[in-house]
Structure 1
Amino acid sequence: MTGIEEVIRGRRSIGKVKDDPVPKELVEKLLDAAIWAPNHHHTEPWKFIVMTGEGRRTLGQVYVECAADAIAALPESEQEERRRKEMAKAFRSPVVIAAACVPSDSPKAVLAEELAAVHAAVQNLLLTAHAEGLGGVWRTGVPAYDPAMKKALQLEDHAQVVGLIFIGYPDMQAPTAKRTPASAKTVWIEQ
């Protein structure tokens, strides 16, 4: 197996990471790898918002805002604890990178292809993180798609958040994975 195959097959979603800071230069290396994703018509439709330290509070406030109705439905004695838990979600890793698609206004650009390019960029980022000894997990969920998220991240109206990537040094054993062989999912058309 080649080095790249080992990285691809060894990467796992690592949801539990240490609080240890990740050097800015290493985060920049992940982003530099991300931007080499294929993108039709060279539109480069990605945008990354990196949150570290207290900057993650921006994300936490969106989690609290998105849970506002559920929080309001709780007994008053439980509401503050629930707000605290929602805020804490943003602090699950020392680095959180919001990946967004900012589609090109080129008439040649197709939204599905623009989104696919950003998804490929996130995969590049995650593979590089793994190769550098970091753990990462790509999260979405209702808050990622809420208009409050777009506003908090200062994204253009036509932009879309495609994921929140939580990055840090692993604090868990990587889970084993199983895949259906490619041959079971492949059709060859030869004539």
Structure 2
Amino acid sequence: MDALEALHQRVSVPRLVGPAPTAVQREAMYRAALRAPDHAYLRPWRFLVIEGEGLEALGELFGRAALVQADGDLSADVLARYQGLPLRAPLLIVAICSHSEHPKVPPIEQDMACAAAVSNMLVAAHAQGLGCVWRTGDLAYDPLIREGLGLSSHETIAAFLYVGHPAGELKRVPELDPQDFFAKWPPVQGSATRT
């Protein structure tokens, strides 16, 4: 699949099955992440790769955080659901924004660079026939999760990137018309602003 085809056809794939991506597939994703736009070459990211027993350990961490959030008032079914979240894919990559002090690159630009790295991995996965979905939610911001994953005070979780093989057909998404989102500026007097 060529680059434009991958960019034009990528979709999120929430239902994933094994096997996990191969070493070659992972390397392609990792290299794609490292080509994200990065003002001042700060490399404001790091990634945790979790699979196998690590997914179960992350599930236990998710469960503990959910119990704390609920003040211990959580049904067994809900607790089991939290513990099972990481098991939705054979591989999970946690993308962490790691801010540096820089006079010309504020934290928001570093966050965007990290997000671009995640986006590059999504496209690289799709180009290789893999499925991927980017998730965050309350757990991405939970202090217990941050501590359990070893984040420093200057770091935030940008994504829980679930990776595997699509379990079934890829969903079809509506075709968007670029004319609805791109306009010339300044607009020409007496004409439509869309081009």
Pairs within 5 Å for 1:16-55:
16-55=15-54
Q: Which residue of 1 aligns with 2:106?
A: 110
Q: CA deviation at 1:179?
A: 4.2
How many angstroms apart in 1 are the aligned matches of 2:38 and 2:184?
26
Q: CA deviation at 1:71?
A: 7.9
How many angstroms apart in 2 are the aligned matches of 1:164 and 1:51?
10
How many angstroms apart in 2 are the aligned matches of 1:178 and 1:72?
42
Pairs within 5 Å for 1:59-98:
59-68=58-67, 69-70=69-70, 72-74=72-74, 78-79=75-76, 81-98=77-94
Pairs within 5 Å for 1:110-149:
110-149=106-145
Q: Does the alignment pair 1:100 with 2:99?
A: no
Q: Does the alignment pair 1:168 with 2:167?
A: no
Q: CA deviation at 1:10?
A: 1.3
Amino acid at match of 1:169: H
* Count of matched residue positions in the alignment of Structure 1 and Structure 2: 186
How many angstroms apart in 1 are the aligned matches of 2:168 and 2:71?
31
SS at match of 2:93: strand
How many angstroms apart in 2 are the aligned matches of 1:22 and 1:187?
40
Q: CA deviation at 1:29?
A: 2.2
Q: Which residue of 2 aligns with 1:58?
A: 57
Q: CA deviation at 1:88?
A: 1.0
SS at match of 1:166: strand
TM-score (norm 1): 0.89
Gaps of 5+ in 2: 189-195
SS at match of 1:109: coil
Gaps of 5+ in 1: none
Amino acid at match of 2:110: E
How many angstroms apart in 2 are the aligned matches of 1:180 and 1:22?
30
CA offset digits 1:31-60 (Å, max 9, x no partner) = 111110001111110110000100112321
Q: Does the alignment pair 1:7 with 2:6?
A: yes
Amino acid at match of 2:92: V
Normalized per residue, the structure richer in helix is 1
Q: 1:178 aligns with which of 153, 174, 182?
A: 174
Identity %: 30
How many angstroms apart in 2 are the aligned matches of 1:93 and 1:143?
17
How many angstroms apart in 2 are the aligned matches of 1:18 and 1:161?
24
Q: CA deviation at 1:126?
A: 0.5
For the Cα contact (< 8 Å) 1:62–1:143, is it kept in 2? no
For the Cα contact (< 8 Å) 1:14–1:172, is it kept in 2? no
How many angstroms apart in 2 are the aligned matches of 1:164 and 1:9?
23
For the Cα contact (< 8 Å) 2:56–2:83, is it kept in 1? yes
CA offset digits 1:43-99 (Å, max 9, x no partner) = 11011000010011232123212321448334xxx42x3322211111110100000
